[in-house]
Amino acid sequence: MTITGIVTILMFVLAPYIWFIIAGLVIIVALHFSAYLRGYQITRHHSVIALLLAGLVGLTAYVWIPWLTHSKLDYVATVFDWVALTGAAIAAFIVALIVLHPLSYLISDRRIH
């Protein structure tokens, strides 16, 4: 299959989820902007809780991603299966961290004031 063909099909794959993706991006941007207005800086804020929770999301992704696809971890068998699932789990960890990190700042910030 050509790269063009893959790109075209990926666009069709994403099309039904476009509002979900946009909504997710809006939430993330709003969170970061809201935290930024309260002095949040991504490199200066440290949150063990956010890191742990994001790690939990990433680890449990090995179970819930197969479940979301009507499958189960037992059927993740080939090398490419594991590469793909690990990539998806890392992506889930990153997305969770991007959400939880400013959120933890906002929550702690609110508690202090």
Where are the alpha helices (H) located in 1-113, listed in sequence order? 3-14, 18-37, 48-68, 79-112
Whichever of 5 and 44 has its CB closer to other proteins, that residue is 5
Q: Which of 41, 44, 48, 80 binds other proteins (CB under 8 A)?
A: 80
Instruction: Tokens 């930024």: give the residue.
Output: 36
Whichever of 42 and 68 has its CB closer to other proteins, that residue is 68
Angstrom distance (rounded) from CA 91 to CA 97: 10
> Tokens for 55?
């790690």
How near is the Cβ of 12 to other proteins at its closest, in Å?
4
Residue pair 60/92 in contact (Cβ under 8 Å)? The answer is no
Nearest to 34, CA basis, from 96, 93, 105, 95: 105
Asked whether position 112 contacts other proteins by CB under 8 A, the answer is no
Site string for other proteins, 30-69 (x = CB under 8 A): ------------------------------------x--x
User: Which residues are near other proteins by CB under 8 A?
Assistant: 1-5, 7-16, 18-19, 66, 69-72, 74-78, 80-81, 84-85
